[in-house]
Structure 1
Amino acid sequence: MIRPRDMRLPRRVVASRQAGFVLCGAALWALCSSARATPPEAASAPQALQTVTVQGMAYGAQAVHLPSTATVLDRERLVQGQQQVNLSETLNQVPGVVVNNRQDYAQDMQLSIRGFGADSPFGVQGVQMSLDGVPLTMPDGQGQSQLIDLPMIGAIKIIRGPFAALYGNSAGGVIEAYTEDAPDPAAASLAAWLGPWGSRQSTLIGGARSGDLGAVAGLSDFRTDGWREHASASRQQFNTVLRWGDGGDDRYRLVFNALDQQGLDPGGQTLAEYQANPRGVAASSLSYDTRKSVRARQSGLSWEHRFDAADTLQLSAYGGSRSITQYLAFSGSFAQSAGGVVALDDAFGGTRATYSHQGLLASRPYTLAAGLDYGRENEFRKGYVNDLGTQGALRNDQYNVVDNTAVFAQADWKLTPALSLSGGLRHDRVAFESTPGADAPLASGTGGTARYAATDPVLGLLYKLDAANRVYADWGRGFVTPTFYQLAYRPGNQPGLNLGLQPMHLNNRELGWRVDFGRLRAQAALYDITADNQIVVDTNTGGRTTYMNAGSTRRYGTELSLDARLPGHLQASAGFSLMHIRFVGGPYDGASMPGAPQEQAYAALTWRPLLSSLALRGFYTRISLLGRSHVYVDSSNHATPAAGWVALNWAAGVEQRRGPWKLSEFLRVDNLADRGYVGAVVVNSSSNQYYEGAPGRAFSAGASITREF
């Protein structure tokens, strides 16, 4: 029997926050005295921490260390004891990052960084994403996270703060994923796991190195019947990376990714529907058989040439295609409607050229990188009547084009051995154009153009207090244009694109501190961001979403993270973020932004004993919790918010090795306390179907076998 979810703020949320702070405090108390007495080199010798916090990002051939809030999750943190299906499994460890699993594979994960992208009903908006240097974010700013195939990923870097603007449009943050390096010696592995509701995944990965040539490839297959009704899905992926020339003056990398995904769309629920049956689905979703299919292919080639020790040139090009067919929860046959079936066929591509130079200025070292980006997306968009789950008459036919041209430069100058000055400048020009097809009923007057441009500077200082402590301060402007999805529909059921929508301009300030004692690593950041022309959801009906500019927003907050090695073979991790986002002026003046929790806390404790038994070698067990405060579901804050919650998870695994063979097994329990809560929200739903429930207690188990050659 499904229990009604309690929409009140539960006491366990308070308990989760207290638990996170207790864990942080215990680790600090246990380690600070010994860490300060131990040189960093000696302290870090026994074992590397799972999470590596970096000082900046490399925006060119050479690494340029910048004052920035950035975190790297290594492979162990990404895959060990995880199902390796969704980014929601791992990225919520990072303060300021919120990833919601909707239990709806027709809509992708709901991913946001410091609130940017929190109200996205589909895909990722406001955040730049890439895989092995190939953009997953289209030139219009719309991104898809499904191409990040977690079983193959070696590391993910998450960048917050002003310097994210140097990556271009969608300057709310950056997520860079990197495929694991080719193994040496050659190896092949087969992995599989089983879970509830018919959920399972199998993965085959192989790779090898020979001289300066390395290759790795993987194939994965995921299927689920879905926790909710009308929520079954399947996903097949293939990814490969070929590298050659490592160690020489010329290095090459060839990347190819493929995705096929199909998913039924259960949509959101009203509060009454959710409380009566969280696993249910609206009658309209069943009547119109709401669903989505995605087919994506993309590839990229990069060449890096080192002229000498000081000068490097990097050239890259990418291209791909994406086809989407989505059935919405209405017919789309009325007056000015563009249809209840959306069919998109996209072709996209781009190039990047970067030149970097290292030298001395006033006898102090500096690094300078400059270059240009170009990206183009061609979208063929058609709309048809949804005739109760079958494609009907043509309603809309558009050819849409977006071009994004940018030039950029950035520099890092070490003023003293302890003080570094970093800065950059990026200029973007983004042009949208829509041309209606002559055969569509809505052809007349539905075309048009929109052009946006911005020049965004960033500046920062990094100061080394001592060998373990660093503080930084940075400031910058940013740029977030509407995406084609946000432009797709005009308010009031009018035909054509919403070309009156204006881009957001950000003013971003940040202060940060990080410490690395080897056994203890911690990071803290304070930020203050204002955004003009805030883009928000205007109406959301059955998957058809319109957008508007709603004045400005101000967001400020703090982020804290901790990783520590404790006595008794224990490792602790904790993260906390406090985020305030308020509308300033406009129709929602003073209200909080929907979709973004004010508080999020994460804590984990892992035990890895040193066991001599061959059957138990590599054993670990981990207990973790994730808690959030309540979330507003509408911009006016009038509807009942989704209550805060905390989920407790447990995982354990073991490994056996014999000669060239390695066998690993894991067991996982999510939502150990079987709590009921809203896992994601549909912002500004016109039918009040805001709530998407999360499953109760769920068991999963898996194993992998690896053979070295």
Structure 2
Amino acid sequence: MNQLDEIILIEDITERNTTGITPYTSIGAQTFEKFNPVDVVSAINQIPGVYILSGALNTNRITIRGVGARTPFGTDKLRMYFNGIPVTNGTGSSTIEAFDMENLGTIEVIKGPKGTAFGTNLGGAMLLDTKNPETNETKLSSSFTLGSYQMLKENLSFQHSEDNFNLTFAYNHFETDGYRQNNRFDRDGFLLNTNFNLSDKNQLGILVNYIDYTAQIPSSINQTDFDEDPTRAAGNWLAAQGFEANKYVLAGLYHTYQFNQNLENTTSIFYTYLDHYEPRPFNILDEFTNGFGLRSQFKGNSGTFEYTFGGELYKDEYHWGTFRNLFRENNGNGSLRGERLSDNSEFRRQFNLFGTFTHTFTSRFSAQLGLNLNKINFNFQDLFNQGNANTSADRNFDAILLPSFGLQYLFTNGKLFANVSRGFSNPSLEETLTPDGVINPDIAQETGTNYELGGILNLFKQHLVLDWSLYHMDINNLLVAQRVGEDQFIGRNAGETRHQGLELSARSVLPLCKSVNVHPYFNYTFSDHSFVDFVDEDDDFSGNPLTGVPKHRISSGVDVRHTNGLQLNLTHQFVDEIPLTDANTLNSESFNVFNAKLGYNTQLSSNFSLGLNVGVNNVFNTNYAQSVLINAVGFGGAFPRYFYPGNDQNFYGGVKLGYLF
């Protein structure tokens, strides 16, 4: 059974975060170890229905079942949690790059709005958890990797566990010049995670995650540059030597109290801080965000009933301003800060109440009802134009009640499930502003209803496992980000989209001999997403495919494992062409990318362990777009820049040493 612990069956060996019978998908250490230790994107892209478009290490857009594909930059429309603490900010933005993959133990993904206790966002939820130390073990480990583009990565971790105390501390450093011009990335960070058993009923935990990175920005390029020399940076970003510098802090304190064997409560208080500085060709952005929150959840059971209920309050203060960028007057030395152009503050508050109730009618049949109540408030203050009262305003969205209902039937060789759930997505405050900076009260929340049917089937004594899902979701009041300037987008509700598709995952174990097992796997995503009703001024795009979503996607591979610790991982990704314009007049090209990794792990003594690995990414040196910018607009007579090139053929190798005290 443990040989099939990836994606389908990891729930059998890991304490899950999701509650009741909520369907979810999970990946863990064995998936992470198939890839370069900085390539969390490829690991997550193994999950059917989930696709990360990655323009750079610091530019990732996570889409789930097509939701979020129209977001110009970054990730929204989902909720992200780290060790149970929400890390999605007040405007709905999440950043996967704030976490070092080598510190992660599992990633659970709830696709669609059915994860009531983790928000009911249309995209779903992503739950990240750190590695847990082995019971009664003290271990020091160091992982060191070198690779192409002058890449260097080091992760040093210390883990200690005893009966009433666990501690993990990890430091990481990563640097690379990158594949493209103006593509340097330099990051340092540390993670502290500890918990104490204060008594038989009380447990207290502390979590601190800190990341400090500076990343140059090559930005997107046009078709000609993409075809002729994908290493080029966009000319204006290269001239400005554009970059972003981020300092990110997450600090949390959580307490678990066991009332009795049938009821427990976990309450966490947390603080987040982001200091972001980004010189762009059109201006320099200087911002910082302070976030505060409280989350409390009760979990219990009574006979055939299992239930959870609780609440989550999150408030943040976002302060941002822009300055003129005088890079053209700086003698080729890049960005130079000039006069102030804007000064703004936003105060954002989000409140969630949630509850799920699961009833087991028989040993095989269960039903679950979930309810989530969400209330959001924005307050915007223009400190630069204080004399104009119209540029400071409140926006209160009506409270929205979102139900979810699920059924599950277990049978000898698997299970079937069905789910109906309602979800929503909020516009960011910026999307509610007109070009004149005035709140538009007519902007509404996106809402949708998701219908899902799926199951897991174990065949041939669990040597073959099939996991499948069919879904259909209609989204109303579609939020469209319309570009009205080089650095200005406004939002509006423009119609309805239909998201429907099939997700299929197959895993197998084939023993070649007593000491060698072969693990082939195949993950397929079929996305039939389209505009049902979408009119943009004089253009009617109704019936067109949804922009930014490939119709077919495959991630497949073979893992060959020897009992002596030798392992070969061969991975493949196919991504179909992606519509780049709402008019469906231009598509990106489909592509196939192959990676390979060879690793060896051995125990040198009772105390020392050694791991070695070498790998090659993009084996056949394919020129492909790892991310795209939809509906790109050319400014000043320039060609539209749609493409973020993926890396060419590149190599890496690493060594991991462990010492068990």
TM, length-normalised to structure 1 = 0.86
Shift in Å at residue 442 of structure 1? 8.7
Q: Does 1:572 align with 2:525?
A: no
Q: Which residue of 1 aligns with 2:114?
A: 163
Q: For each residue in 1:663-682, what CA deviation from the matched residue of structure 2 results, as whole angstroms up to 9, or x when unmatched? A: 11111111111111111101
Shift in Å at residue 81 of structure 1? 4.1
Give the alignment partner of residue 142 of structure 1, picking from 88, 93, 96.
93
Q: Is the 8 A contact 2:57 2:97 kept in 1?
A: no
TM, length-normalised to structure 2 = 0.92
Q: Is the 8 A contact 2:157 2:168 kept in 1?
A: yes
How many Å separate the matches in 2 of 1:248 and 1:254?
A: 18
Q: For each residue in 1:176-235, what CA deviation from the matched residue of structure 2 results, as whole angstroms up to 9, or x when unmatched? A: 111111244211111111111112211111111132101001111111111111111111
**1:151–1:59: structure 2 CA closer, same or farther, 3 Å change rule?**
closer
Q: Which residue of 2 aligns with 1:309?
A: 261
Q: Is the 8 A contact 2:366 2:407 kept in 1?
A: yes
Bigger CA drift: 411-420 or 81-90?
81-90
**1:400–1:162: structure 2 CA closer, same or farther, 3 Å change rule?**
closer
Aligned residue for 1:272, secondary structure, equals helix
Aligned residue for 1:285, secondary structure, equals helix
Q: For each residue in 1:358-383, what CA deviation from the matched residue of structure 2 results, as whole angstroms up to 9, or x when unmatched? A: 113xxxx0112211111101111111
Q: Which residue of 2 aligns with 1:25?
A: none
Q: Does 1:177 align with 2:103?
A: no
Alignment of 1:70-219 (within 5 A): 70-78=24-32, 80-102=33-55, 104-106=56-58, 108-168=59-119, 170-183=121-134, 184-219=136-171
Q: Is the 8 A contact 2:359 2:367 kept in 1?
A: yes
Give the alignment partner of residue 371 of structure 1, picking from 274, 298, 310.
310
Q: Is the 8 A contact 2:579 2:587 kept in 1?
A: yes
Q: Which amino acid aligns with 2:263?
A: D
Shift in Å at residue 53 of structure 1? 3.8
How many Å separate the matches in 2 of 1:262 and 1:545?
A: 25
Aligned residue for 2:236, secondary structure, equals helix
Shift in Å at residue 246 of structure 1? 8.8
Q: Which residue of 2 aligns with 1:512?
A: 454
Q: For each residue in 1:349-402, what CA deviation from the matched residue of structure 2 results, as whole angstroms up to 9, or x when unmatched? A: 111122233113xxxx01122111111011111111122211111111111011
**1:485–1:607: structure 2 CA closer, same or farther, 3 Å change rule?**
farther
Q: Is the 8 A contact 1:125 1:141 kept in 2?
A: yes
How many Å separate the matches in 1 of 2:324 and 2:544?
A: 37
Aligned residue for 1:146, secondary structure, equals helix
How many Å separate the matches in 1 of 2:386 and 2:310?
A: 45
Give the alignment partner of residue 6 of structure 2, picking from 22, 34, 50.
50
**1:694–1:190: structure 2 CA closer, same or farther, 3 Å change rule?**
same
How many Å separate the matches in 2 of 1:442 and 1:519?
A: 71
Q: Which residue of 1 aligns with 2:610?
A: 663
Q: Is the 8 A contact 1:541 1:686 kept in 2?
A: no
How many positions carry a matched residue from both structures?
Answer: 635
Aligned residue for 2:562, secondary structure, equals coil
Q: Does 1:625 align with 2:581?
A: no
Q: Does 1:548 align with 2:487?
A: no
Aligned residue for 2:309, secondary structure, equals strand
How many Å separate the matches in 2 of 1:60 and 1:601?
A: 26
Amino-acid identity (%): 19
Bigger CA drift: 588-597 or 245-254?
245-254
Alignment of 1:283-302 (within 5 A): 283-302=235-254
Shift in Å at residue 541 of structure 1? 5.5
Shift in Å at residue 501 of structure 1? 3.2
Bigger CA drift: 239-248 or 594-603?
239-248
Q: Is the 8 A contact 2:120 2:402 kept in 1?
A: no
Q: Is the 8 A contact 1:50 1:77 kept in 2?
A: yes
Q: For each residue in 1:450-497, what CA deviation from the matched residue of structure 2 results, as whole angstroms up to 9, or x when unmatched? A: 222311000011011x2222111110100110134645x644xx3356
Q: Is the 8 A contact 2:116 2:356 kept in 1?
A: no
How many Å separate the matches in 2 of 1:683 and 1:324?
A: 25
Shift in Å at residue 540 of structure 1? 7.4
Q: Does 1:583 align with 2:538?
A: no
Q: Is the 8 A contact 2:117 2:309 kept in 1?
A: no
Q: Which residue of 1 aligns with 2:637?
A: none
**1:496–1:661: structure 2 CA closer, same or farther, 3 Å change rule?**
farther
Q: Does 1:250 align with 2:198?
A: no
Q: For each residue in 1:579-626, what CA deviation from the matched residue of structure 2 results, as whole angstroms up to 9, or x when unmatched? A: 11111212231222222111110111111123xxxxxx3101121100
Give the alignment partner of residue 299 of structure 2, picking from 356, 359, 364.
356
Shift in Å at residue 75 of structure 1? 1.2
Higher normalized contact order (CA 8 Å, seq sep 6+, divided by chain length): 1
Shift in Å at residue 97 of structure 1? 0.6
Q: Does 1:415 align with 2:361?
A: yes
Tell me, which stretches of 5 or more residues in structure 2 are unaligned?
328-334, 536-540, 635-639
Shift in Å at residue 566 of structure 1? 0.9
Q: Which residue of 1 aligns with 2:331?
A: none
**1:97–1:508: structure 2 CA closer, same or farther, 3 Å change rule?**
same
Alignment of 1:301-450 (within 5 A): 301-330=253-282, 340-360=283-303, 365-388=304-327, 389-437=335-383, 439-440=384-385, 445-450=390-395
Q: Is the 8 A contact 2:145 2:654 kept in 1?
A: yes
**1:545–1:274: structure 2 CA closer, same or farther, 3 Å change rule?**
farther
Bigger CA drift: 425-434 or 518-527?
518-527
Q: Which residue of 2 aligns with 1:66?
A: 21
Q: For each residue in 1:289-346, what CA deviation from the matched residue of structure 2 results, as whole angstroms up to 9, or x when unmatched? A: 322111111111111111112222221111121111122222xxxxxxxxx1221110
Q: Does 1:502 align with 2:444?
A: yes
Shift in Å at residue 49 of structure 1? 3.2
Q: Which residue of 2 aligns with 1:595?
A: 548
Q: Which amino acid aligns with 1:685?
A: A
What CA RMSD, in Å, does the superposition of the two structures yield over aligned residues?
Answer: 2.3
Shift in Å at residue 419 of structure 1? 0.9
**1:47–1:285: structure 2 CA closer, same or farther, 3 Å change rule?**
closer
Bigger CA drift: 628-637 or 535-544?
535-544
Q: Which amino acid aligns with 1:96?
A: G
Q: Which amino acid aligns with 2:562?
A: P
Q: Which structure has greater strand proportion? A: 2
Tell me, which stretches of 5 or more residues in structure 1 are unaligned?
1-43, 331-339, 611-616
Q: Which amino acid aligns with 1:179?
A: T
Q: For each residue in 1:255-287, what CA deviation from the matched residue of structure 2 results, as whole angstroms up to 9, or x when unmatched? A: 101111111111111112222221112221123
Shift in Å at residue 536 of structure 1? 2.6
Give the alignment partner of residue 221 of structure 2, picking from 249, 256, 269.
269
